[in-house]
Amino acid sequence: MSANEHLNISSGRVAGEGLDTTHGAILYLEEITVSFDGFRALNKLSLDISVGELRCIIGPNGAGKTTMMDVITGKTRPTSGTAFFGQTMDLSRMTEYQIAHAGIGRKFQRPTIFEQHTVFENLELAMKTDKRVRPTLFARLSSEQHGKIDEILKLIRLSGSERRLAGLLSHGQKQWLEIGMLLMQEPQLILLDEPVAGMSDAETARTAELLNELRGKHSIMVVEHDMAFVTEIAQQGVVTVLHEGSVLAQGTMAQVQSDERVIEVYLGR
């Protein structure tokens, strides 16, 4: 089973209903500031992501990467600045579920799954369907949907474990499950916060492979500290370096890696 087949299942839509990406960008962050009791976790951060782009974000611990994702997904409200999904959706006015509904999916830095549900149910819950009360009450899995869950299970290599409680998985397995949930959601914009933390090197390579497959079909934003992994997936694309809440450098991986300031604050000598 390769990631290829998965792509057939996921509709592959890049932009969905209601999302206006006429200007080519799917996400605009402009002058976003987030302060916590005076401490600026994000400081006038501006950033945009094009449709179908895979953007890697790196930066020191505490640079504000996770906070930025919090802002995009509605978990944290920016103190100032604007965040737009497409041309028209003002993320700062939307709730978490509206944002998710609009097509932004996220994997958290620490794996967050429904520990009391089975692996299967985790995927089922995440699946892209009508998520209002009545449809949920009367929902029945179609064989197509069933098939899709099976595909994803294989992809994340938890096929034998679908009836296990997710809480009993190991750390790395939880990471994979969460990626699986993300794929079930079929979002247009995927946010991945340290997807390979705690994965073995081989698993990391597999993840890189998966991301390379998804490239172009979804817009993706990846935060990672694993430079080998970032190099692998960034290819010739743009890598953004955050530092102290704003963009420190931006360019290809090679440019960034040779930037003195980046070496100073992040890579080390």
Ligand X SMILES: Nc1ncnc2c1ncn2[C@@H]1O[C@H](COP(=O)(O)OP(=O)(O)OP(=O)(O)O)[C@@H](O)[C@H]1O
What sign has the CA pseudo-torsion 118, 119, 120, 125? positive
**C-alpha span between 25 and 218 (Å, rounded):** 12
Using CB under 8 A as the binding rule, the residues of this chain from 39 to 78 that contact other proteins are 39, 59-63, 65-67, 73, 75
Q: Report the residue from 33, 92, 109, 250 that binds ligand X according to the rule CB under 6 A.
A: 109
Maximum distance among all alpha carbons in the chain? 59
Token couple for 171: 């750390």
Q: Report the residue from 4, 8, 95, 236 that binds other proteins according to the rule CB under 8 A.
A: 95
| Secondary structure element (H or E) that encloses residue 221, with its range | strand 219-223
Tell me the number of residues near ligand X by CB under 6 A: 19
| Secondary structure element (H or E) that encloses residue 255, with its range | helix 253-258
Which whole-number Å values give the CA distances from 142 to 121, 184, 201, in the listed order? 15, 14, 37
| Cα R_g (the chain), whole angstroms | 18
Q: Does residue 33 belong to the site contacting ligand X (CB under 6 A)?
A: no
Q: Does residue 109 belong to the site contacting Mg ion (CB under 5 A)?
A: yes
Q: Does residue 62 belong to the site contacting ligand X (CB under 6 A)?
A: yes
**C-alpha span between 108 and 179 (Å, rounded):** 10
Q: Would you give the binding string for ligand X spanning residues 122-161, x where CB under 6 A is met?
A: ----------------------------------------
| Partners of residue 76 on adjacent β-strands | none
HSE-CB at 55 with a 13 A cutoff on CA atoms is 22
Q: Report the residue from 10, 21, 66, 185 that binds ligand X according to the rule CB under 6 A.
A: 66
To Mg ion, the closest distance from the beta carbon of 39 in angstroms equals 15
Q: Report the residue from 52, 78, 81, 105 that binds other proteins according to the rule CB under 8 A.
A: 105
Nearer to ligand X, 172 or 237 (CB): 172
φ/ψ of residue 167, rounded to 5: -65, -20
Nearer to Mg ion, 66 or 145 (CB): 66
User: Interacting stretch for other proteins, rule CB under 8 A, among 23-31, 167-175, 210-218, 231-239?
Assistant: 167-175
Residues that bind ligand X in the complex, under the rule CB under 6 A: 36, 39, 41, 59, 61-67, 109, 168-173, 198
Residues that bind Mg ion in the complex, under the rule CB under 5 A: 66, 109, 171
